[in-house]
Amino acid sequence: MTSISNTTSQISPVNERVYHQSNLLGDWKGTWTKGGAPVEFKVINIRGTTAQIEYTHNGHTERGTAEVDGATITFGNVTIGTKDGQNAALEFSIGTAKQSAILQKQAADTDQNKLVGKWSGASSSNGQSAFFTVASVDGRDAQVTYTANGTTQKGTGIVYKNTVMFGKAQITSNDGQNGNVILQVGRNFYSIPVTKQKPASSSSSAVNKLA
- For 1-48, write each residue's pLDDT tens digit: 333 334 557 788 788 889 999 899 889 999 999 989 999 999 988 988
> Which H or E run includes 211?
none
Which phi and psi (to 5°) does residue 80 adopt? -125, 145
Give the span between the Cα atoms of 184 and 151, in whole angstroms: 13
pLDDT above 90 (res 206): no
Amino acid in the structure at residue 186? G
- Residue closest to 39 by CA, chosen among 53, 22, 18: 53
pLDDT above 70 (res 200): no
Please, where are the H alpha helices in the chain?
13-19, 110-115
Length of the chain in terms of residues written = 211
Q: Report if pTM > 0.75.
A: no
Determine contact, residues 10/158, Cβ cutoff 8 Å.
Answer: no
Determine contact, residues 136/116, Cβ cutoff 8 Å.
Answer: yes
- Residue closest to 72 by CA, chosen among 93, 88, 60: 88
Give the span between the Cα atoms of 142 and 54, in whole angstroms: 19
Give the span between the Cα atoms of 46 and 56, in whole angstroms: 19
Give the span between the Cα atoms of 166 and 164, in whole angstroms: 7
The mean-pLDDT minimum among 1-15, 87-101, 135-149 falls in: 1-15
From its phi and psi, is residue 168 left (phi > 0), alpha (psi between -120 and 50) or beta? alpha
